[in-house]
Structure 1
Amino acid sequence: MGRAVAGAVAGFAALVAWTLMTGPAASAEDSACLLPRTGVHHSEGVDSWEGDYAHPVGDVKALMIFLSFPDSEPRLTPAEVAADHFPATGDFFRQASYGKFRLHVHPETRWLRMPHPSTDYLISRDWDARERTDYLRDALRTADPVVDFHGYDVVYLVADPDAPGVDSDATKVVNLASAVTVDGNPLHRLVTVFEHHPPDHNVLAHETGHVFDLPDLYYRPPAGSNADWDTHVGDWDLMGSQFGLAPDPFAWHKWKLGWLDAAQVGCVARTGITYHDLTPDETPGGAKLLVVRTGVDSALAVEARGATGNDRTTCRQGVLLYRVRSDRESGDGPIDVIDGHPGTSACAATSVYAPLADAPLGVGESYTVPDGSLQVTVTGRTSDGSWAVRVTVSAPGSRAGQGREA
């Protein structure tokens, strides 16, 4: 284990930043549908992979470190806090990735005491960079003498949930402008966990998604506003709301992360009529995603969603459409779900955003873009649960076909 962590973090304040990264490589049979990576934070582009991000494929090791404070004696054991998040987080990703991504956590077995009271760090959602830097520096200095960081792609710094200065809204991933090397392991980002006990649903899965370059899909209203946070994607994909009824990642994200093969992604790049069968996003095997390029940095994505796996509590099943923009920053609407039933809502008692809870199209329903150049119609459903889809692409300004316009 390294003993020079103090030196490694001496200039830590200069290294902490919300940096702009580039993203993972993906491939399709037709490269016309590969949106380009742009310079925005967590771009939804899929034509390249940034090497600073570990690949969430195969066996990935995570380290969980538990931090206590002089102003509070922990009421829980590290094992009890670890059980708040695992095996649930690993199970979520194993299911979402069809077994292609296996996240293994090594939880430390004791609390490590930070040098200052929890209230001194002024922990909050919009944490001042200086206080956040002090916290990270102290956490690494405290842990390095007794913890071996070598070989871990993910590091969780878990604070005592009962400490008076801990604010659960401050749980997030901190990206480092330059990696800090501890025990020979370059750390590009750290997950700071300040959850209470029990924690928010799927919170660690959401934050771990950021570690692998997934953006926030929710909308954050300005201070003082009563606007809804979930207008972009509603219940769909936990990078929108970790409380959603259908938290399984969009097929676009599964493509981006390498969980879909090229043959499972269809690219519609020419005018005409094409027919496709889509198996539900939550189940392994079969075609998962249709992509229609709509601009230099934009595309329409089409996938099927079912009531199984991570989405067993979903409000509605069907064919889900959404717009993807690779030039939109994390938290600025990189994905917008298209409401297939704009006049209605569903599951108001349980949905995080009822107007989009019934967004998927059912058999016989269509969506036509406003200029008439593109129409997606659900023509049927097979006995094995696949959804049959017809895509009609015509010249802009013409009618792609008759059907529901949303």
Structure 2
Amino acid sequence: MPSGARRRVLRAFAAAVAGFSALVAWTLMTGPAAGATESSACLLPRTAVHHSEGVDGWDGDYARPAGDVKALMVFLSFPGTDPQLTPAQVAADHYPATGRFWANASYGRFRLHLHAETRWLRMPHPATDYLISRNWDAADRDAYLHDAIATADPSVDFAGYDVIYLVADPDAPGVDSDATKVVNLATPISVDGNPVRRMVTVFEHHPPDRNVLAHETGHIFDLPDLYYQPPPGSNADWDTHVGDWDLMGSQFGLAPDPFAWHKWRLGWLGPDQVGCIVGIGTTYHDLSPDETPGGTKLLVVRTGEDTALAMEARTRTGNDRASCSEGVLLYDVRSDRESGDGPIDVIDGHPGHSACPATSVYPPLADAPLGVGESYTVPGGSTQVTVLGRQTDGTWSVRVTEAATQATNQPSGVGTVD
């Protein structure tokens, strides 16, 4: 990330907090869920980019991941091929694992309930006719969606579902697992009186990629892709932005639990669980692990109009039980960068070192968290974070020291398919 993205305090922001003579920890309301006001200093604004990481509002085009949410799974086969698996077997590839993941991630605040159809529905054309691929031609994709809805509608009741999975026969010729995507419709369609704006087209093999459906479900609730997609023909690494941290980076990651920033955005953190650090000086904080309920989950330092430095604790438990390392994780957030363009960058607390080369998706960031006694100073010296200890109740004690500097703005982008 450009060094300017880590300079600490915007001129306008500095003026807004000039009345503070010492650093304070300001507890924020819970983003979109609590309707926090514009005066909350660390609320990054939502911007026009696709899946903006802003937390000052909620895009009403997206369903909220709160309470009991109903999902529908429809199974599609193709002429010339008889499915080798039953719908129940394919459904079991994804559930109840996907539901458990999100229940754990949300501390039980979001419960995804699946209704899976019990038979294969035959599409009008072979899968090869649709030219299914990761970078699917829009006309071919639209033809597939049109045929899928037309095939299912006579026998499937779509009413009352916020999440719709269209699952293709994994063994049919022409089915490409790289094409598993959330498709966002510019104009919603009405099926059985249910307005449908986005659907997950599932083309996974058997068994599927780990956490793949949980990743795609995250898009249904406005979470961005955190990985980097190299240009065609490039051998560049996909996971340089966040490595194993947060399944919106890689569904194969060792620590797939969502960042506390995402839990804040989705409304799963209470009013006392996010601290905003403003002013000049030093403060002390206890961070409860991201994976467990209760306690302070997130510390934020506003670094620009659309940027922030975030801090949270990560441990080997829950969704992160296979994590390579534990400690206090730091990352930069940008609400002006679109999905897939690096809206979050994990800060490497141990530059020049790697860990878990056999299992990590990106070993240079596998040991990114700071351990007890370790510090990180943001380039330019404006913010220093030191991990003082780990308490018997599992919380991590952190010291944050702020010095006055200034920051700059950065460009933005836009996108439509996840």
Structures share a fold, TM > 0.5?
yes
How far does residue 28 in structure 1 lie from its aligned partner after superposition?
5.8
1:305 equivalent to 2:319? Answer no
How far 1:295 moved relative to its partner? 0.2
* Structure 1 match to 2:107: 98
Structure-2 residue corresponding to 1:252: 261
Q: Which residue in 2 is equivalent to 1:322?
A: 331
Q: Structure 1 residue runs of 4+, over 2 Å off? A: 23-30
1:32 is aligned to 2:29: no
Q: Which residue of 2 aligns with 1:364?
A: 373
Deviation string for 1:144-202 (max 9, x for gaps)?
11100000000000000010010000000000111101111100100000000000000
Q: Give the alignment partner of residue 285 of structure 1, picking from 291, 294, 297.
A: 294
One-letter identity of the residue aligned with 2:168: A
* Residue 145 in structure 1 maps to residue 160 in structure 2: no
Identity %, equivalent residues: 79
| CA–CA distance in structure 1, aligned partners of residues 404 and 51 of structure 2 | 32
Gaps of 5+ in 1: 1-22, 398-406
Q: Which residue in the other structure is 1:384 paired with?
A: 393
Amino acid at match of 2:288: T
Spell out the pairing of 1:193-342 with structure 2 (5 A cutoff): 193-342=202-351
- Which deviations, in whole Å up to 9, do the C-alpha atoms of 1:273-305 show, x marking residues without a partner? 111100100001110000100000000000000
Letter in structure 2 aligned against 1:117: P
Q: Which amino acid aligns with 1:169?
A: D
Q: Distance in 1 between matches of 2:60 and 2:190?
A: 16
TM-score, normalised on structure 1? 0.91
Corresponding residue for 1:5? Answer: none
Q: Distance in 2 between matches of 1:27 and 1:245?
A: 33
The residue identity in structure 2 corresponding to 1:209 is: G
State the partner residue of 2:409: none
Q: What is the count of residue pairs matched by the alignment?
A: 375
Provide the residue aligned with 2:120 in structure 1: 111
Answer whether contact 2:159 2:194 (CA < 8 A) is retained: yes
SS in structure 2 opposite 1:295? coil
TM-aligned CA distance change 1:27 to 1:291, over 3 Å: farther
Q: Structure 2: how far apart are the matches of 1:233 and 1:174? A: 24
What letter matches 2:59 in structure 1? E
Maintained 8 Å contact 1:28/1:267:
no
What CA distance in whole angstroms lies between the structure 1 residues aligned with 2:36 and 2:386?
23
> Pairwise CA RMSD of aligned residues?
1.2
Cα distance, 1:52 vs structure 2 = 1.1
Q: Aligned partners of 1:164 and 1:318: how far apart in 2?
A: 46
CA shift, 1:24, in A, is: 4.8
The 1:40/1:310 distance shift into structure 2, 3 A limit, reads same
CA contact (8 A) 2:35 2:57 kept: no
Distance in 2 (alpha carbons) for counterparts of 1:48 and 1:385: 32
> Which of 1 and 2 has higher RCO (CA within 8 Å, sep 6+)?
2
CA distance in 2, matches of 1:270, 1:392: 10
Q: Which residue of 2 aligns with 1:404?
A: none
Q: Find the counterpart in structure 1 of residue 188 from structure 2.
A: 179
Query: Which of 235-244 and 361-370 deviates more?
Result: 361-370
Q: How many Å apart are 1:27 and its aligned residue?
A: 5.2
Residues 100 and 173 (structure 1), Cα distance of their counterparts in 2 relative to 1, 3 Å cut:
same
> Which region of structure 1 is more displaced relative to structure 2, 370-379 or 198-207?
370-379
Is 2:87 aligned against 1:78?
yes
Amino acid of the structure 1 residue aligned with 2:127: S
1:272 deviation in Å? Answer: 1.5
Q: Counterparts of 2:142 and 2:352 in 1: how far apart (Å)?
A: 48
Which sections of structure 2, spanning at least 5 residues, go unmatched?
1-30, 407-418
- State the alpha-carbon separation in 1 of the partners of residues 146 and 115 from structure 2: 22
User: For 1:326-366, what per-residue CA distance to the aligned partner results, in whole angstroms no more than 9, with x for missing partners?
Assistant: 00010000000000000211000110000000000011111
